[in-house]
A and B are shown apart, each in its own frame.
Chain A
Amino acid sequence: AQKITQTQPGMFVQEKEAVTLDCTYDTSDPSYGLFWYKQPSSGEMIFLIYQGSYDQQNATEGRYSLNFQKARKSANLVISASQLGDSAMYFCAMKGAGGTSYGKLTFGQGTILTVHP
């Protein structure tokens, strides 16, 4: 079984500052993928960034970077230079390697990020 834990129900950040959203995971699969999605108040799920369990380097996509610490089973999202439009719910998710976890995403509870001007 896979589990994603996001311990921060809500986070606040000042515009132009950086913020880290925490994510820890648990899995017995040797190969897995970690995803972050953004869900604005409009409801759509927007893919942000991906990290494979065998990737040697931390993933980056523009202002988003993923701080992947495999031994600690953590995959924190770092947003640099926050913008007002970053205010949304953020979900960490995992995709497993096989068995019943094959292909489907397991999501955490989410973190609501509010960016203050």
Chain B
Amino acid sequence: GAGVSQTPSNKVTEKGKYVELRCDPISGHTALYWYRQSLGQGPEFLIYFQGTGAADDSGLPNDRFFAVRPEGSVSTLKIQRTERGDSAVYLCASSSATSGGASHHEQFFGPGTRLTVL
């Protein structure tokens, strides 16, 4: 079956512009995660959804960042007034369940969107 897809694969924008990044999770996966990966670093958590609701948005760096998942499937990460420091690869992942601790529900990652803010 199809994996997680993300569009666009690359996005170049100018400082101050608005961008939207889209994530299409694996069909039937209820949990969806957004991470940000800067060059040479590990991914950092931004937000996760269980169904349509944002269960944890503690990783969003500031109020310029917002994400939605209106029908519990596709999600859009929105960044307003982009800054050069927002340049990174934005990764989306989905999982068949949101469960913590020792339960094995691996997250399947998409190929990422490389955002460059000039």
Contacts and interface: CB of A to CB of B under 8 A. Distances in A.
B20 interface: no
B41 to A, nearest CB: 6
Contacts, number: 89
Interface bracket on A: 20 to 34
Given A45-B109, A103-B56, A104-B48, A95 B42 contact: no
A95 B41 CA distance: 18
Contact of B103 (A33, A37, A110): A33
Interface in B64-100: 89, 91, 93, 95, 98-100
A21 B61 CA distance: 31
B94 to A, nearest CB: 12
A37 B100 CA distance: 18
Contacts of B42: 4, 91, 93, 107-110
B2 interface: no
Interface in B96-114: 98-104, 106-112
A101 B41 contact: no
20 contacts: A4-B42, A31-B101, A31-B102, A32-B100, A33-B101, A33-B102, A33-B103, A33-B104, A44-B111, A45-B43, A47-B107, A53-B102, A55-B102, A95-B101, A96-B100, A97-B100, A103-B48, A103-B100, A104-B48, A109-B41
Interface of B: 31, 33, 35, 40-45, 48, 55-56, 58-59, 89, 91, 93, 95, 98-104, 106-112
Given A33-B102, A98-B100, 18 more contacts: A4-B42, A31-B102, A33-B103, A37-B109, A50-B104, A54-B102, A55-B102, A96-B100, A103-B31, A103-B55, A104-B48, A105-B33, A105-B43, A105-B107, A107-B44, A108-B42, A109-B42, A110-B41
